[in-house]
Amino acid sequence: MVLISPVQGQVKQGVYVITLDNPPVNAISISVRRGLISAVNDFEQSNAQVAVLVGSNGTFIAGADIHEFARTSDGPVLLDVVRVIENCKKPIVAALQGAVLGGGLEVALACDARIAHVDTVIGLPEVSLGIIPGAGGTQLLPRRIGISRAIDIICGAQRLSAEEAKHLRLVDSVVCSDILVAANLFARNIEHKSSVRDELVPNEDPALIDQAINRYTKLGRCRPAIAKAIDLIQAAARLPIEEGLVLESAAFLELRKSQEAQALRHLFFAEKTCRKPPQTKEVAPIPINTVCVIGAGTMGTGIAICLLDAEFSVMLLEQDKEALDKGEERIFSHYQKQVETGKLSPVEASKCLSHLLCSLNWEELAKADLVIEAVYEDMLVKQDVFKKIDQFANPNAILATNTSYLSVDKIALATTRPKRVIGLHFFSPANVMKLLEIVNAKQTCLETLHAVIAFGNRLNKYPVVTKDSFGFIGNRIYNAYRTQCEFMLEDGAWPEEVDAALVDFGMAMGPFTVADLSGLDIAWRMRKTQRKNQETRYVDILDTLCELGRFGRKTSAGYYDYTNGKKQANTSELVRQIIENASQRRRIKRRTLNSKHIQNRALLSMVNEAALLMREGVAQRASDIDVVFVHGYGFPRWQGGPVFWARQQDRQQLQSDIAGLAEHGGNSFVLADISILFESSP
């Protein structure tokens, strides 16, 4: 059997055209690397005096084949390819289009010139996978654009437009026409070689470099890939190129094996997997173009904004004119700020707003393909709204409830079409957060499920499917985590100690800072709907705070006190007295809990609840749990999620440690068999 190389070369009108065809995104695999070296060597032997390197399928090279990162590969590495291109005695022009990312940009920088289609996106996003550019990125980029800007692009995993890249001299020309035709014309005017590697790093203000270093050291929390990238970018100014490349290659290979890189690769594949519909029979697609959002509050308007950004036609429906006017003003104010900050042009903002209709007329519902209810989190209120939706909505429309924990099955009973009812749990702020929990109720049909997964993808969110169960995936596990943290308050920790320990682990915020931010009254109201039995260990600290009117930031007092909106570092004597009184009522002798103890108990509670969810079939895949916690609850990406974290521990010791949680949880604690987290794939 003859294997056809994904890289082909042929002379066209005097230009040697090297075409890379490795669908879907021309990722750099071992066969691509071998093919590129062979094609460049063939070009040198040809009569053509110039070559053009172009990708098929509308993309140049979108990066490396990430599957190869987890294993060693025979044959040439990408740096070998770069050197072959740089050492070629005749010039090569890179014809850039689509995605030019990671190794794709390194290959382009090795060429003698670069011409880009106007829609091209360029970047070196390797730090988002816990690694660094490994084929010259940290050495070539600063030679062309300077150290501070290189730090921004590499450590910030920034993506540049073609015009931005031209401004930085990363591309020589930007065109709107056919890229291959334009590149061929451009190539015929090249008379000699021109290598970025021969350039010197330009001088710049040391203060700008220090600012860039401080910015990413702080944002990256001194993560290894970012720290190493900064070191290597700075080295480009003092080391010969070959010495810098040797250091870069060694660092790349070392980082590729790190636990952080493994965690980020795990998330990369988990994020791709959650976007796919269940592997079942083919279903007829249900087109969604017009969406009605019912409820013009903070959540409803946030949902409307993310719909407008995705170019849906949006109706915002309310029954109260004052509430509708406030919601409309909130949406217009958002787009005004986008224009003021330069994130959108006035034309782009106007285009988004042109798709918005605000109405008090429920008959408008008949125009919607999808209706999203976003009203008060109360079962009776939502059921009443769904009865009304059922009267006015198109018979073929999908009806969705934005609920955090209420039963979608019960809400569906308020309609005559439960097969078309589904849960869409957006996370606040809805136009920012990337997670979308899709609650697949008992009677939801497959066509409805597939349609809303496609809808979530169009919103550029991660659509994680969950079975209808109290709290679904995220809030159920978060509730177990938060409850364990409350136990630790009674056991001897202060809120600031728990928060600090979990922020040190990498969480975006500690649980008590989060509680104050979201409002303690929300959790208090939910707890009142859940009657606890006598055997359940119940911490009433939050109840006491709420009874005193301490609802968090919005009342300037919760677990913490706030002065002029600024949180005080330590809890007040009043809060400490409330906590100590709770310990005394339970007859607990308070003791000091160190940071490691706090982290372990919090993480173990997550892992135990995750295993219970998997056993019950609430989550489809263990990896979905990690996507939920990274994108919805501030779990650090570089730790991979609670399931990935569990898989890095000794399995027997982990099960034993989780069993130890029972002594803190009372008779109501349910011990999970965590083996399902190790057996589930991915």
Provide the terminal-to-terminal Cα distance of the chain, rounded to the nearest Å: 33
Instruction: Return the C-alpha torsion angle 198, 226, 342, 307, nearest 10.
Output: 130
Whole-angstrom Cα distance, residue 351 to residue 431?
A: 17
**286: Cβ–Cβ under 8 A, 6 or more apart, which residues?**
369, 396, 398, 447, 448, 450, 451
Task: Quote the pLDDT of residue 529.
Answer: 66
**246: Cβ–Cβ under 8 A, 6 or more apart, which residues?**
none
Question: Is 32:26 a contact under the CB 8 Å cutoff?
Answer: yes
Closest among 308, 295, 303, 292 to 354, alpha carbons compared: 308
Query: Which residues participate in catalysis according to the annotation?
Result: 404, 425, 437, 475
pLDDT at 373 over 50: yes
pLDDT digits (tens, 9 = 90+) for 249-262: 999 999 999 999 99
**For residues 657-676, average pLDDT:** 85
Q: Pairing state of beta strands 15-20 and 7-12?
A: antiparallel
**For residues 173-188, average pLDDT:** 91
Q: Pairing state of beta strands 113-117 and 159-161?
A: unpaired
pLDDT at 52 over 60: yes
The amino acid sitting at 670 is V
Task: Quote the pLDDT of residue 2.
Answer: 46
Closest among 256, 337, 353, 235 to 305, alpha carbons compared: 353
**For residues 306-331, average pLDDT:** 95
Question: Is 481:515 a contact under the CB 8 Å cutoff?
Answer: no
Residue found under tokens 């019950």:
616
Size of the chain, expressed as the number of residues it contains: 682
pLDDT at 535 over 80: no
pLDDT at 286 over 80: yes
Judged by average pLDDT, the poorest of 381-390, 600-609, 657-666 is 657-666
Task: Quote the pLDDT of residue 461.
Answer: 97
pLDDT digits (tens, 9 = 90+) for 407-428: 999 999 999 999 999 999 999 8
Task: Quote the pLDDT of residue 536.
Answer: 74
Q: How confident is the model at residue 523 (pLDDT cuts 50, 70, 90)?
A: confident
Question: Is 147:203 a contact under the CB 8 Å cutoff?
Answer: no
**For residues 473-500, average pLDDT:** 95
Whole-angstrom Cα distance, residue 441 to residue 412?
A: 8
Q: How confident is the model at residue 241 (pLDDT cuts 50, 70, 90)?
A: very high
Q: How confident is the model at residue 669 (pLDDT cuts 50, 70, 90)?
A: confident
Give the DSSP letter string of 120-168: -EEE--GGGGT----SSHHHHHHHHH-HHHHHHHHHTT-EEEHHHHHHT
Sheet holding 435-440, edge to edge: 356-359, 313-317, 290-294, 370-373, 398-401, 421-426, 435-440, 462-467
pLDDT at 532 over 60: no
Q: What percent of the chain has pLDDT over 70?
A: 96
Domains contained in the chain, CATH given: 7-257 (3.90.226.10), 290-472 (3.40.50.720), 475-679 (1.10.1040.50)
**For residues 271-282, average pLDDT:** 85
Residue 465 pairs in a beta bridge with 438
Q: Pairing state of beta strands 99-101 and 173-175?
A: unpaired
Q: Which helix (H) or strand (E) holds 423?
A: strand 421-426
Task: Quote the pLDDT of residue 222.
Answer: 66
Task: Quote the pLDDT of residue 572.
Answer: 93
Closest among 671, 675, 625, 670 to 651, alpha carbons compared: 675
Task: Quote the pLDDT of residue 65.
Answer: 84
Whole-angstrom Cα distance, residue 354 to residue 331?
A: 12
**Average pLDDT of every residue of the chain:** 92
pLDDT at 392 over 50: yes
**610: Cβ–Cβ under 8 A, 6 or more apart, which residues?**
477, 619, 622, 625, 642, 643, 646, 672, 677
**For residues 283-290, average pLDDT:** 90
Whole-angstrom Cα distance, residue 215 to residue 68?
A: 32
Task: Quote the pLDDT of residue 384.
Answer: 95
pLDDT at 177 over 70: yes
Whole-angstrom Cα distance, residue 122 to residue 96?
A: 9
Q: How confident is the model at residue 299 (pLDDT cuts 50, 70, 90)?
A: very high
The amino acid sitting at 677 is L
Whole-angstrom Cα distance, residue 116 to residue 165?
A: 9
**326: Cβ–Cβ under 8 A, 6 or more apart, which residues?**
296
Whole-angstrom Cα distance, residue 601 to residue 368?
A: 47
**For residues 524-534, average pLDDT:** 67
Whole-angstrom Cα distance, residue 152 to residue 209?
A: 10
**For residues 479-492, average pLDDT:** 94
pLDDT digits (tens, 9 = 90+) for 452-476: 999 999 999 999 999 999 999 999 9
pLDDT at 124 over 80: yes
pLDDT at 112 over 90: yes
pLDDT at 534 over 60: no
Q: Pairing state of beta strands 562-563 and 462-467?
A: unpaired
Task: Quote the pLDDT of residue 1.
Answer: 44
For the record, the structure tokens of 141 come out as 């980029």
Judged by average pLDDT, the poorest of 282-296, 429-443, 656-670 is 656-670
**For residues 295-320, average pLDDT:** 95
Signed CA dihedral, 171, 173, 177, 180: sign only: negative
Task: Quote the pLDDT of residue 538.
Answer: 86
Give the DSSP letter string of 222-283: T-HHHHHHHHHHHHTTTS-HHHHHHHHHHHHHHHHTSHHHHHHHHHHHHHHHHTSPPS-S--
**For residues 432-449, average pLDDT:** 95
**For residues 4-29, average pLDDT:** 91
